[in-house]
Amino acid sequence: MSFIEIQCGDVLASVVFIIEGELHEIPQAQAIQSHLTTCIACSAEIEHERLMHQMLQDVLKRSCAEEAPEDLHQSIHRQLRAQMAGVGSTE
């Protein structure tokens, strides 16, 4: 089984899906995973973003008790998936 080649920019554009553990929701998931196993720069950037995301989550949990409504979460996820469906396409 071969994977399509994917550019670093496309991998980094998918950072939210990677950090949130939702990479499986985008069409380029296998190519991104393959890229991350060989690209040290992208792997390091993803790890940095993951740490920053975790730090922000920790701060927000300590300072905010209110949660956004579930329909807002779903709407944002739908919009992100729609945007990511266009990653790698030529315009």
For residue range 24-81, list pLDDT tens digits in order.
Answer: 878 888 899 999 999 999 999 999 999 999 999 898 888 877 778 899 999 999 999 8
Question: Does residue 31 lie in a domain region?
Answer: yes
Question: Does residue 29 lie in a domain region?
Answer: yes
Dist CA 6 CA 34 (whole Å) = 9
Question: Does residue 59 lie in a domain region?
Answer: yes
Domain that holds residue 46: 8-84
0.75 cut: is pTM over it?
Answer: no
Q: How many domains does the chain have?
A: 1
Question: Does residue 90 lie in a domain region?
Answer: no
Question: Does residue 55 lie in a domain region?
Answer: yes
Q: Residue 88: which pLDDT band, with cuts at 50, 70 and 90?
A: low
Separation in Å, CA 36 to CA 16, 48, 58:
15, 14, 26
Question: Does residue 91 lie in a domain region?
Answer: no
Q: What is the pLDDT of residue 8?
A: 93
Question: Does residue 71 lie in a domain region?
Answer: yes
Question: Does residue 37 lie in a domain region?
Answer: yes
